[in-house]
Structure 1
Amino acid sequence: MPKNYSAMLRYKTIDECLRNNFHYTIRSEISGYWTLEELAQSCYESIGVKPSERTIKLDISRMRSGELGFEAPIENCYGIGYKYLNPSFSIYQSPLYKNEVEKIVSSLNLLKTFKGLSYFSHISKSIRQYTQQSIVQDYYQYDPIGIIRGFEFFDYIIKSIEQNNKVEIIYKPFIESNSFHLLFNPAFIKEYHQRWYLIGTNEANKVYNLAFDRMESIFPTSFECNVDRKVLMEKYSHVVGVSVPELGQLEEVIFEVEKDTIPYIQTKPLHSSQQFLEKKTNSGAFKIEVIPNIELMAALLSLGSKCKVLAPESLKITLKNEISKMQALYL
């Protein structure tokens, strides 16, 4: 049995014993106390392995310390045994500490950025009830997103993904004049540059990334999804953004930036695979392993003259052509 699992079973058993206020030890006529030997014997009866008294003492010390997420009020009356000072205490009913509530409240303040995100509203309500106060303080400044069109479908999408059900979507691309109907296998949601996308496949197994703000309506169904979520998420982990070229291949992209730009690229990588290759006198080289796409090109071009792509050759040619078109606009 793994050590951590065995320890958790002992904590559970010790907790159950110390909550029994009608127990009498052989050393005292006062109820509620347990000796180390009795606690060890109870653990043996529960999990089939009898721990030493030293192990039980260490368990009690950890239960008191707070390192397990609670501070059990265990009293040691020398010569008699151990008991809970608060008879109603249980490690499975311990309250949130003030600092834990503050962290949750802080996170909820960030979630308020997304207007209309009702998926988390019940959490905010529960915390307000728990703390008996409104969450009003805000210590963050961010680019306001406001009400995102299509975000009212968030709940339906999440529930459909969790239940592994298809959804029916009425969708209208920016470049099309008419909407179209889609029976869709939702795989996962991805955010990129403050725009949210639903990634999945249609009935013909064609992959789509559907922007929330272009969804006109969505209807949950009881039909089971037939999408390999793990494979699709793995594929999308190799791109910057949300587009995967149909014939795209994973490649090593090596680029060089000016000396002053190095720390910006290091602290805000273009992709999770980014590696710093070498630092020269006036520049530094980086490598990422991605499937080149339009979002990667946009990210590299956004660095302007401070960045030069060294490989692969195909990406260099594509960027040269794009830069030539841009230059022609200003001639």
Structure 2
Amino acid sequence: MSAGKNPYARYQIINACFTNKQKPYWTKEELIRKLAEHDFHVSERTLNTDLQNMRGNEQLGFFAPITYCVRERAYYYSDPNYSIYSAQLSDSQLQAFSSVVDLLQGFRGLQMVTEFEGAIEKIVRGVDQLRRDKLTKGEQTIEFERAPYYKGMVWFDTIKNSIDNKQPLRIGYKKFTSGKEDVHIFHPYFLKEFKGRWYVLGHSEKRRITLTLALDRIESASPERVPYKPNTFLKAKEYFKNTIGITHKKKPVEDIVLWFSPAMGNYIKTQHIHPSQQIIRDDEEGLVISLKLIINYELITMLLGYCPDVSVVAPVKLKDKLEELLMKGIEANRRKVRV
């Protein structure tokens, strides 16, 4: 991958090295090898620039305490509690964030942004905490979940711009289960996030079908000079209306009935599995709900994660599939593995 692409992702990787409690000291050679593991092949000159930007670039605002240790002959954070994620915002940066938050507050309740309420709430609470920290210089009292490094984000802007400009792409794509790279002339239509990973839905000329590609499995993406095949039939909201996740095969929508234990049922009532969720029964024996979903890989994986506090009431084929996978899991757990 080109060294110039997505420098912030490189900063994240370097930061992860220096905040590693088991190995806080890193030579330049080790940092270059670590970046290469994530497909960032950089020269020592580029690494020096990255380290300098992390130390003193005012626009980044990291001011990372990267120091050279003569005894270890390696670099480290002189403040062991430092991380780029905890870097303080300047007054002007905080004021800019505050202005954005005030703007977002005005959109709350509108139907068109309802699905982003959670993200808006997180931004509001986060900036409020930063304001308090600036005034009181107190300890942090809110901790949000931080997204780890994600390789696929390097392609996000390229694909988003292609969608906006109706520009087909030549995409080199490699599945996790195959060492062979496929090349698609791809007409991207829209992006979708699921569990921290991004996917692009569009038309593949190679497969002659609508296809979903994972950004973290894209090896290359460049403009292709062919006429753009416009999206005249897919609407993202409707396409994924009856699915968990992104797997969308041509299968019927099923009436799914699930039982949850009383304890787990309390969680399911406070954070719904899917917008179609309806309560059939809720008593001391547990919670029974109905869902209207296409049976796909993500749904089955989710149900396995709820075991042993879930039982499939209907349909029978979903119940049988869950039992089959649970039995395979038991067999795998009993297998003797040489380490």
The normalised TM-score by structure 2 is: 0.55
Tell me how far apart the structure 2 counterparts of residues 108 and 252 of structure 1 sit (CA, whole Å).
Answer: 33
Deviations along 1:66-108, one digit per CA (max 9) or x if unpaired, are xxxxxxxxxxxxxxxxxxxxxxxxxxxxxx9996544469979
Residue matched to 1:314: 317
Asked if 2 retains the 8 angstrom alpha-carbon contact of 1:110 and 1:140, the reply is no
Q: Does 1:328 align with 2:325?
A: no
Quickly say closer, same or farther: Cα 1:105–1:245, change in 2 above 3 A: closer
Larger Rg: 1
Residue matched to 2:187: 185
List aligned pairs for 1:293-312, cutoff 5 A: 293-312=296-315
Residue matched to 1:266: 269
Residue matched to 1:144: 146
List aligned pairs for 1:92-131, cutoff 5 A: 100-103=99-102
Tell me how far apart the structure 1 counterparts of residues 96 and 235 of structure 2 sit (CA, whole Å).
Answer: 40
Question: Could you list the runs of 4 or more consecutive aligned residues of structure 1 that deviate by over 3 angstroms after TM superposition?
Answer: 96-111, 137-140, 226-229
How far is 1:242 from its partner? 0.9
My pick for the range that moved more, 146-155 or 315-324, is 146-155
Amino acid at match of 1:296: L
Residue matched to 1:257: 260
Asked if 2 retains the 8 angstrom alpha-carbon contact of 1:188 and 1:233, the reply is no
Amino acid at match of 1:155: D
The normalised TM-score by structure 1 is: 0.57
Asked if 2 retains the 8 angstrom alpha-carbon contact of 1:169 and 1:215, the reply is yes
Quickly say closer, same or farther: Cα 1:170–1:328, change in 2 above 3 A: same
* Aligned-partner SS, 1:315: helix
Tell me how far apart the structure 2 counterparts of residues 218 and 108 of structure 1 sit (CA, whole Å).
Answer: 32
Q: Does 1:156 align with 2:158?
A: yes
* Aligned-partner SS, 1:254: strand
Asked if 1 retains the 8 angstrom alpha-carbon contact of 2:185 and 2:224, the reply is no
Asked if 2 retains the 8 angstrom alpha-carbon contact of 1:164 and 1:224, the reply is yes
Asked if 2 retains the 8 angstrom alpha-carbon contact of 1:270 and 1:299, the reply is no
Q: 1:226 aligned to 208, 211, 230, which one?
A: 230
How far is 1:229 from its partner? 5.3
List aligned pairs for 1:196-215, cutoff 5 A: 196-203=198-205, 204-215=207-218
How far is 1:226 from its partner? 3.5
Residue matched to 2:246: 242
Where in structure 2 are there 5+ consecutive unaligned residues? 1-94, 106-118, 124-138, 335-339
Where in structure 1 are there 5+ consecutive unaligned residues? 1-95, 112-136
List aligned pairs for 1:36-115, cutoff 5 A: 100-103=99-102
Quickly say closer, same or farther: Cα 1:109–1:155, change in 2 above 3 A: farther
* Aligned-partner SS, 2:244: coil
Tell me how far apart the structure 1 counterparts of residues 97 and 150 of structure 2 sit (CA, whole Å).
Answer: 33
How far is 1:231 from its partner? 4.6
How far is 1:280 from its partner? 2.4
* Aligned-partner SS, 2:171: strand
What root-mean-square deviation, in Å, do the aligned CA atoms of Structure 1 and Structure 2 show?
A: 3.1
Tell me how far apart the structure 1 counterparts of residues 236 and 259 of structure 2 sit (CA, whole Å).
Answer: 31
